[in-house]
Amino acid sequence: MRPRSVPSPPALWSAAALVLVSAAGLASPAQAAGYGTPTIKLSAAYLSGAVGATGDPTVAVTVAQSGADASALTVTAGRSSRTSVADTTDVRVTGTGSTRAVAVTARAQGYTDLTLRVTGPGGTTATTTLHYAASPAVRDPAGTRYTTGASDASAAVDAGDGYVLVANDEDNTLRLYDGSASGAPVRSWDLGDALGADKEVDVEGAARVGDTVYWTGSLGNNKDGEYRADRNTVFTTTLSGSGAATSLAFGAAGHRLRDDLVAWDEANGDRYGFAAATADGQAPKQADGFNVEGLEFAPGSATTAYLGFRAPLVPPREGGKALLVPVTDMDQVARGGRAVFGTPVELDLGGLSVRDLRRNDRGQYLILAGSWAAEDNSAPYALYAWDGVAGHRPVKALDLPTADAGGWESVVSVPDLSVPGGRVQLITDNGAADLYGDGTAAKDLAHPEWRKSRTAWFTLG
């Protein structure tokens, strides 16, 4: 009879050791190997803030680790490349589970790279880098918000529920923002293909009639005095829904308004010099230039619209008046029809020209007035109240502050001007601004998240 096999002493000892370790509740090699390496991913690798800002945008951080509950993972800031701009103690991480929110409080203007670390059970870690840029403090930071993704806000209309539809004169994209919060657009629509545009239309004016929004290019030459056909564009979009649920569809476009303006002016004695101002080599932004920046409909009309000119002044010299030209069939012009013009309106805006104008349902207007020349805050800006009637003098409602970067460019909507204390929201064009102190204009920044315009609220009366 074959003797029964008996395990050797080493084998018995190994088995006994495993039993003892398990009984003691200690992690076995197999259990330790059950945790994978944690992962960390940012919703955006670039983030912009401002010194002293309220409600700066945040980034979302997604973390995970195989074998571990996401709530067991911790996210911390491990390093700042420039602590004078923002240190690790200026980074706040909120939330639990797989998605957290990261906010940064800026100390000073400039750039810093922030290392974010996720730590999982067992001490394993992973890191990622958040590239952060801080713009300087501004007047009334509590009432200031930033629209990111583009820096050259050039026209805006109220989309309802505090949301704003904004054009950018460096591209053909319309962006929908929550006007009460800083951050990226909630939706955007690139209309380049619909417009058949090879270059930017240089949208500068917008006006809403019901669910239709009319948009106009600047109609002038580019800054080098060259004609660009895409700028000779008026088009419409149709809105549905409101607020965050706003949707947009392209309507129609016309491309002859500039030519009709020149022909009309020549037929009336070349009163405003449009032919000379649109000639090759003529820059648009000069006292005798040709540049449209405002668009709004006349009192009680859905077809007659005022074109507000940044240039020329009338006469074209310091102290000249601002010019409005009524287009009586704007609905047809936006479909490619020939423009018909009414009697021009010349307004005394203290030597300033039209940068935007907006009307409310009561027929009250606010005119945003600024220099024909300035791209930034190096010249005065003011708001004027007007009743829309030719021959009636506008009344200055407010001198606008010019200590901060950017130039005032757009009026979102007009409160009841007969009631003191109404509030109006304005938007700046920050394209030429050096936001981060490195000499780079905002429009030339490599990352869209760092490009931004500024919105601010002002109280009238």
- pLDDT tens digits, 161-212: 999 999 999 999 999 999 999 999 999 999 999 999 999 999 999 999 999 9
| Residue 8 maps to a domain | no
Whether the bond between 394 and the residue before it is cis, its omega within 30 degrees of 0, is no
| Residue 220 maps to a domain | yes
User: In terms of pLDDT, which residue wins out, 461 or 282?
Assistant: 282
76, 108, 135 - which closes a domain = 135
CATH of the domain at 68: 2.60.40.1080
145 and 131 co-located in one domain: no
The pTM is what?
Answer: 0.90
- pLDDT tens digits, 23-71: 333 333 443 457 899 999 999 999 999 999 999 999 999 999 999 999 9
Residue 379 pLDDT = 85
Mean pLDDT of the chain: 92
390 and 322 co-located in one domain: yes
Q: What distance in Å separates the CA atoms of residue 222 and residue 283, rounded to the nearest whole number?
A: 7
% of the chain with per-residue pLDDT over 70: 92
247 and 128 co-located in one domain: no
| Residue 23 maps to a domain | no
**Residue 373 pLDDT grade (very low, low, confident, very high; cuts 50, 70, 90):** confident
The pLDDT of 252-276, averaged and rounded, is 98
* Residue 83 clears pLDDT 90, i.e. is over it: yes
| Residue 372 maps to a domain | yes
Residue 85 pLDDT = 98
Count of C-beta atoms within a 10 Å radius of residue 383: 23
257 and 117 co-located in one domain: no
135, 158, 188 - which closes a domain = 135
Q: Which two tokens stand for residue 229?
A: 């056909």
The pLDDT of 146-167, averaged and rounded, is 98
123 and 230 co-located in one domain: no
104, 135, 166 - which closes a domain = 135
**Residue 377 pLDDT grade (very low, low, confident, very high; cuts 50, 70, 90):** confident
| Residue 424 maps to a domain | yes
* Residue 13 clears pLDDT 60, i.e. is over it: no
